[in-house]
Amino acid sequence: MISSITILGGRGRTGEPEGVDRIELRMGDVVSVVGPTGSGKTTLINDLELFANANTPSRRRVLIDGEPAPAHFRDDPARNPIALITQHTTFLSDLPVRQFIETHLRIRGTQKARAAEVLARTMDFANQLTGEPIDPNNRMTELSGGQTRALLIADATLVCDTPIVLLDEVENAGINRTRALELLREHRKIFLFVTHDPRIALLSDYRIVMKGGAITQLVHTDEAERRCAGVVTRLDDALARLRDKIRRGERVLGTELEAWA
Amino acid sequence: MRLSIYAGPATTGKTSVIRHVLRKVKDAGGHPAFLKIDVQFAEEDVEIAREFDVPTRKVYSGELCPDHCSVMVLGDAIDWARKTGADTLFVETAGLCLRCSPYVNGGLGVVVLEATSGINLPLKVGPMLSLADVAVVTKIDRVSQAEREVFRARIQDVAPSVRIREVNALHGIGIDPLFDQTMAVAEVPFDASGRPQGLMLRGNPPVGTCTICVGKKEIGWQSHFGVVRSLENQVFYRGE
């Protein structure tokens, strides 16, 4: 069982060494990657997913339990300890959802006897995050952006069921983030969120700050920040309720907005 | 001479993959050469010669099937490569009709497929995939990990013994194992007169000359003889 991943710093876009030369992610850590658009956040998690070994443009190295990743991590999906939810929310395959998940369960090495149960739990997980439920007979290409994202999060958590989950801007697809975070926390894994969402960032143990393709610093969430996480959550929930009201075609009253916040 | 033959549908990134492997061969002190076989237009030979300063050539198949053309010229090409002092020949084929495969015994056969091409592609490319040694999957950064893994499973279903290499051909990520396989392939043997010896196509070519091939253009099977088929008489082709 994997207990840690180490990122050994490489270089930024200008060739300068990164500001942080070693990061150790331990089982149970919830970490955010923050920084302006184009600062290299997605590249960082792609490096993790590729088990970079000074062979990507960043020259970073990724160690699993202190060692370079063995080749079978990438050659055999059933043994790959990382699940990545990319920003790509369009599916290209027109398989029905059920068949897609069943195929993925098979190659991720799920026993046949458990497959039906995991499929059902995956659909249930995904449908708790979406507005309109996903029908397992829908074709993948018919799903909306939010449905696709919800299905990918459920797939990463339950089908891949890996110790390490990388999530690239999950907040962008109109899914229920509160529920997503609650459901994810039921699983003890290393979660790495690339995010612009203050709520996700403040609920993390620490955040990796990026600029110009390089990691510049680590910011650990302190007591004061933990305290304001409550306010941020309230504000965020107020906005979510507002959004839902508008979706349902209801009118917004200024007074209730103040009460929520 | 180590031989690597690349096939795969158009625009999947065959040249990009070759470029990365070729660079590694050169960096390792090897002497690569490159041959491009295409139907009517190609400039990969010029680009690769400019970028790497290695011997390159191209041949246009024109009215010939490009894989047929490859069978015709491959012996000469190996001879040419050897005379230039090369020790590793990369052949990039046009990869068009999905019924043939250009791989030969005694060389590495590589098919380049793109992850974005849809989940059924592995079922459609026939011997181009099933007779390859390695299936390189490109454009992996364009699809979700889940979909990439399902694509991989589809390849394995069709061709269980083919090694799958997922690469980002833009940055050359994941190329190393392909380089190792390129270098590990057995050398092509030469006979006393210096010609490559005993090279055979791996797959069976499709049924040969038909009336359409020789220029008879009338529509409808009634106008043809030899290889004919009516709509109601479907012969199912299973691939190799």
According to DSSP, the β-strands at A22-26 and A4-8 are: antiparallel
A236 and A158 co-located in one domain: no
Residue B37, C-beta contacts closer than 8 angstroms, at least 6 positions apart: B58, B59, B61, B66, B69, B70, B73, B91, B92, B93, B94
Q: Cβ B174–A50 below 8 Å, yes or no?
A: yes
Distance CA(B146)–CA(B151), nearest Å, equals: 9
Same domain for A151 and A36:
yes
Q: Looking at per-residue confidence, does A187 or A24 come out higher?
A: A24
> What's the pLDDT band for B235 if we cut at 50, 70, 90?
low
Residue A108 is which amino acid? R
pLDDT value of residue B69: 87
What pLDDT score does B80 carry?
95
- Show residues of chain B in contact with A107, CB under 8 Å: 149-150, 152-153, 156
- The model's pTM is 0.83
Q: Which amino acid is at B64?
A: L
CB nearest B142 (choices: A83, A88, A95): A88
Comparing CB atoms, the residue among A91, A104, A140 nearest residue B149 is A104
Highest mean pLDDT among A167-171, A236-240, B43-47, B151-155: B43-47
CATH classification at residue A117: 3.40.50.300
If you write DSSP's letter for every residue of B155-183 in order, what string do you get?
Answer: HHHH-TTSEEEE-BTTTTBT-HHHHHHHH
Average confidence (pLDDT) over A11-28? 93
Q: Is the domain defined by B2-184 classed in CATH 3.40.50.150? A: no
Asked if A162 and A234 sit in the same domain, the reply is no
pLDDT-derived band at B233 (thresholds 50, 70, 90) equals: low
Domain boundaries, chain B: 2-184
Q: How confident is the model at residue B110 (pLDDT cuts 50, 70, 90)?
A: very high
Q: When comparing pLDDT for A126 and A146, which is higher? A: A126
Closest C-alpha among A153, A199, A201 to residue A173? A153
- Which residues of B are less than 8 Å from A88 in CB distance? 142-144
Least confident of A66-70, A123-127, B143-147: B143-147
pLDDT at B81: 96
Probe site for chain A from B23, B149, B181 (most A CB atoms < 10 A)? B149
Residues A229 and A139 in one domain: no
C-alpha pair distances (Å), B197 with each of B1, B33, B65, B192 = 12, 19, 24, 9
Chain B residues near residue A95 by CB distance under 8 angstroms: 119, 150
> Do A89 and A210 share a domain, yes or no?
yes
Please determine, for residue B146, whether its predicted confidence score (pLDDT) is greater than 80: yes
Residues A106 and A132 in one domain: yes
**Statement to judge: residues A129 and A199 lie in one domain:** yes
Average the pLDDT over A6-33 and give the result: 93
Chain B hits for A152, Cβ within 8 Å: 144, 146
Q: Residue A181: its pLDDT value, please? A: 78
Reduced to 3 states (helix: H, G, I; strand: E, B; else coil), residue A181 is helix
Which has the minimum average pLDDT: A30-34, A50-54, B99-103, B233-237? Answer: B233-237
Contact A107 B171 (CB under 8 A): no
**Which range (A80-94, A153-167, A190-204, B165-179) has the least confidence?**
A80-94
Report CB contact under 8 Å: A104, B119.
no
Measure A63 CA to nearest chain B CA, in Å: 17
pLDDT in tens, A86-128: 877 677 777 899 999 999 999 888 888 999 999 999 999 999 9
Q: State pLDDT tens for residues B61-97.
A: 888 888 888 888 999 999 999 999 999 999 999 877 7
Q: Please, what is the average pLDDT of chain B?
A: 88
Domain span at residue A124 reads 4-221
Does B209 contact A at CB distance below 8 Å? Answer: no
E strand or H helix at B52, and its extent? helix B44-52
- pLDDT mean across residues, chain A: 89
Residues A57 and A102 in one domain: yes
DSSP category for residue A214: E
- Whether residues A79 and A130 share a domain: the answer is yes
Q: What is residue A259's predicted lDDT score, i.e. its pLDDT?
A: 81
Burial A220-246 (b: 16+ CB within 10 A, else e): ebeeebeeebeebbeebebeeeeeeee
Instruction: Tell me the mean pLDDT in the region A164-183.
Output: 81
Q: Are residues A16 and A98 in the same domain?
A: yes
**Among residues B231, B31, B200, B18, which one has the least CA distance to residue B111?**
B18
Residues of chain B in contact with residue A40, where contact means CB-CB under 8 angstroms, are none
- How many independent structural domains does chain A possess? 2
- Residue B141, chain A, CB below 8 Å: the answer is yes
A227 with A194, same domain?
Answer: no
Contact check, Cβ <8 Å, B153/A71: no
pLDDT band at residue A61 under the 50/70/90 scheme: very high
**pLDDT tier for residue A65 given thresholds of 50, 70 and 90:** very high
* Strand A206-211 versus strand A214-220 pairing type: antiparallel
- Encoded tokens for B37: 């076989």
Are A139 and A242 within one domain? no
Band of pLDDT at residue B234, cut at 50, 70 and 90: low
Question: Are A167 and A192 a contacting pair, CB within 8 Å?
Answer: yes
**98-137 of B, contacting A, C-beta below 8 A:** 116-119
Q: If you average pLDDT over residues B195-202, what whole number do you get?
A: 90
